[in-house]
Amino acid sequence: MPQYEQKITDTLELNYMPYAMSVIVSRAIPEIDGFKPAHRKLLYTMYKMGLINGHLTKSANVVGQTMRLNPHGDAAIYDTMVRLTRGHEALLHPFVESKGNFGKHTSRDTAYAAPRYTEVKLDGFATELFSEIDHDTVDMVDNYDGTMKEPSLLPVTFPNILVNPNQGVAVGMATNICSFNLTEICNTTIELLKNKDHDILMTLTAPDFPSGAQLIYDADGLRNIYETGSGSFRLRSKYRYDKKSNCIEIYEIPYNTTIEACQDKIEELVKLGKIKEISYMRDETDINGLKLTIDLKRGTNPDALMQKLYKMTPLESSFSCNFNILVGYSPKVMGVREILNEWIAFRVECIRRATYYDIGKKKEYLHLLQGLRKILLDIDEAIRIIRQTEEASDVIPNLMIGFGIDQVQAEYVAEIKLRNLNREYILNKTAETDALAEEIEDLEDLLNKPKRIHKLIIKQLQEISKKYGKPRKTQLLYPDEIEEIVEEEKVDDYAVTFFLSKAGYFKKITPLSLRMGGEQKYKEGDELLCSIDSNNAAELLIFTDRQQVYKCKASEFADSKASVLGEFLPQKLGFDANEVPVAMFATGDYSGHLVYFFANGKGVRIPLNAYETKQNRKKLINAYSDAAPLVAVYHVREEGEFYLRTSNNRHLLVKSSLIPEKVTKNANGVTILSVKAKNTLISAEPYQSGTFVKPEGYRTSSIPVSGFLLKEADKKK
């Protein structure tokens, strides 16, 4: 069997690229009318079925008819229909009136009924999608098997692309368009038609969602979205507190989450012990709408609890915008102004095409009336010609010759009933001819004056806004209205001792356990790095060999025993690969200083509060200087004295107050002990009384110094 080889680049170009383009152009990305092909095919099918003014019909009937335009399976078509229905509540302005169970957009687990049980028809609002569609407003193309025609776009009379939310994932790109209030969009478009430099933020307040909730208003962020088509904003659930039942009722949630997702996250937090104020939770959603009820424990502050839930659950979530739209079959990310300008150009073209169509039809009719007018000037002659014509096939040619009219006019005249050959009919047709000529002249004037077309669009938008406009559902929440409730977490405070090994194993042991525990256990080759007597409410700072410090609370660790290895900090705190601890400190108020000593003989004193952060940051980089290896670092609350020793046997006692204080954490410091080439500072430790016979012989009142050789008395000692 012959073997065929093909380069991967050729495979991508020949096989994958056509698929990718098909997904982008024909499936996932909406066009300027606001619809993807699946939506457009479904709605057009319902329109042709007469469901815009008719009675409800079974969904299965619509699905079956749609398959003549959409070659996908019935399940995919029904899924598309469900999202467009009023019952599903996914759109601000649904296009399909529905009867039966269509599920809910805010629920992940509520399944919709099968299409044989539900009924649908087009909503009255859908009339705005098909305005003059039979007047050549848009191109009609063949369906997949060439047996029918379908519109390439719908001639929507309002910017539907921004009125209803739209999401899609294609190949290598995606779209996520938020919805806006219909009245605000219409007003913004009207203002743009009047003034192309109109400030959109003045009329388009913010996105609006069918699920309601609250939008945290950020003018700069929204302006960026309006200009670029990309960005994000935050949505927050609405709740009320029932004092009598001591429970919180959440009744509106962000559009891009579900009530089950919120429940799952809250349950997870309760199980982990991160939320302790909740006694019970239940979903009480019913015919009246969504409701998630949370029963509180006695003494719980409901507002403080909601602040925690907003931070830790999908009850507050971010909506990321990506206004990616097909324009001329090419995907393009556009801001609101550019989208509205594209829609205006599209709508102008629809009106121009409809006007051309109307002019053509009216001219055809006018041509017939002009022929009739010639006949009506001498009806007796016309009757004589018809009576004297022997064969029926000669009537039309004889009329054409007798009155100087063409074949189309002659055939129209020949079809006039005898009863219409009266004075009233003649006068009416004569007047109709004059009126028709004026209408044609007016339509041609409309084509030649773009401002008149703009005025017509403005009038249509005003009528739509008045007829279908609704108040905003999503409430705006301004930053100064958000009250931050800082509730200190209650931590049991008691005496403990912290142990940290050089390999990074940490233990927190109570005094009682320490007395009864015996010898500390370490892995083979590991040993103690440091131990600190402190309390359970302290904060820990773990410094590493990568000039980084990791912060955590002692209360986050469980009490341990001497007989266990302890918790492995590099894994728990997320150390970088092969990063190891070099020091650990415990503090409650960040008082005092850290004194650093480096191998090049330099030292520096940094206030401990330089490592204090307002945000709950877990990791700080550039925690200390990397100019030379670190020899030692100590936490000094009061003035102390340190004993320094170099590799060439020089010794020095220096007070911490002599070492300059720097505010910058990674400051290099100043030279304390002058070390010559190939020599380094090898140790620095707090001075222990009695180390030297006469310690004053090693002290200095200024720095830098070269250090002192050991005295004979100290050598003997």
Same domain? For 507 and 434 the reply is: no
Evaluate whether residue 478 is within a structural domain. no
CA gap 556, 550 in Å, rounded: 14
Structure tokens at 31: 């066009």
Are 628 and 647 in a shared domain?
yes
441 and 520 belong to one structural domain: no
Alpha-carbon torsion (420, 421, 422, 425), positive or negative = positive
Largest CA distance in the chain: 155
In one-letter notation, the amino acid at residue 87 is G
Closest CA to 301 of 435, 140, 577, 488: 488
> One-letter amino acid identity for 714?
D
Residues of the chain under the 70 pLDDT cut: 1-4, 423, 485-490, 717
Which among 423, 439, 468 is the end of a domain? 468
Please give the model's pTM, rounded to 2 decimal places.
0.70
Same domain, 714 and 605: yes
Pick from 28, 168, 44: nearest CA to 95: 44
Is residue 38 within 8 A of residue 76, CB to CB? The reply is yes
Instruction: Tell me the per-residue pLDDT of 212-269, one tens digit each, with 9 for 90 and over.
Output: 999 999 999 999 999 999 999 999 999 999 999 999 999 999 999 999 999 999 999 9
Are 601 and 674 contacting, i.e. CB atoms less than 8 angstroms apart?
yes
Tokens encoding 477? 């929440």
Q: Which of 16, 19, 117, 280 is catalytic?
A: 117
Contact, 207 vs 319, CB < 8 A? yes
- Beta-bridged to residue 180, according to DSSP, are 207
Helix (H) or strand (E) holding 509: strand 505-509
441 and 505 belong to one structural domain: no
Give the CATH number for residue 627.
Answer: 2.120.10.90
Closest by CA position to 575, among listed 606, 544, 530, 605? 544
Backbone angles phi, psi at 343, to 5 degrees: -65, -40
> Which residues constitute the domain of residue 442?
352-468
Nearest alpha carbon to residue 497 among 485, 484, 515, 509: 509
Q: Which of 290, 314, 338 is the last residue of a domain?
A: 314
Burial group, residue 450, by CB count within 10 angstroms (0-12, 13-18, 19+): exposed
The 10 Å Cβ neighbour count of residue 401 is 12
pLDDT in the model for residue 489: 60
pLDDT at 1: 46
- Number of domains within the chain: 5
Question: β-strands 214-216, 475-477: how paired?
Answer: parallel
Phi, psi of 302, rounded to the nearest 5 degrees: -60, -40
- Please provide the DSSP assignment of 510-570 as one string: -HHHHHHH-SPP--TT--EEEEEEEETT-EEEEEETTS-EEEEEGGGSPP--TTS--EEHH
Helix or strand holding residue 686 (H, E): strand 681-686
Question: Residue 188 falls within a domain, yes or no?
Answer: no
Q: Which two tokens stand for residue 427?
A: 């006068």
Q: Are residues 603 and 645 in the same domain?
A: yes
Residue 280 has a CB neighbour count (10 Å cut-off) of 11
The rounded distance, in Å, linking the Cα atoms of 535 and 40 is 67
How do strand 214-216 and strand 230-236 relate by DSSP bridges?
antiparallel
In a domain, 707, yes or no: yes
692 and 603 in one domain?
Answer: yes
- Tokens representing 540 are 């820990």
Non-local CB neighbours of 123 within 8 Å, separated by 6+ positions: 86, 94, 95, 96, 97
- Indicate whether 599 and 672 sit together in one domain: yes
DSSP for residue 685: E
pLDDT at 264: 95
User: Does residue 15 sit within a domain?
Assistant: no
Task: Say whether the peptide bond before residue 607 is cis (omega within 30 degrees of 0).
Answer: no
| Claim to verify: residue 581 and residue 595 sit in the same structural domain | no
* Rounded CA separation 452/467 (Å): 23
Structural domain includes residue 30: no
Domain stop point among 155, 178, 194: 155
In sequence order, what are the beta bridge partners of 630? 598
CA distance 363 to 377: 21
Q: Tell whether 325 is covered by a domain.
A: no
* DSSP string for residues in 63-116: HHHHTTT--S-HHHHHHHHHHHBTTTT-SSS-SEEEES----TT-SS-PPPPTT
pLDDT of residue 439: 92
- Asked, for residue 705, whether it belongs to a domain, the answer is yes
Please tell me whether residues 606 and 551 are part of one structural domain: no
Q: Take residue 6 and report the two structure tokens written for it.
A: 């093909």
Q: Are residues 495 and 460 in the same domain?
A: no
For residue 357, indicate whether it is catalytic: no
Q: 89: domain CATH number? A: 3.90.199.10
Give the CA dihedral 692, 693, 697, 698, nearest 10 degrees. 0
Residue 164 lies in a domain: no
Please tell me whether residues 295 and 359 are part of one structural domain: no
Residues 576 and 588: beta-carbon distance below 8 Å:
no
Distance CA 458, CA 186 (A): 8
Length of the chain: 717
Distances (CA, A) of 298 to 146, 218, 583, 584, 674: 70, 36, 43, 39, 65
Q: Is the dihedral of CA 48, 50, 53, 56 positive or negative?
A: negative
Among residues 326, 345, 337, the alpha carbon closest in space to that of 224 is found at 337
Q: Are 163 and 185 in contact (CB under 8 A)?
A: yes
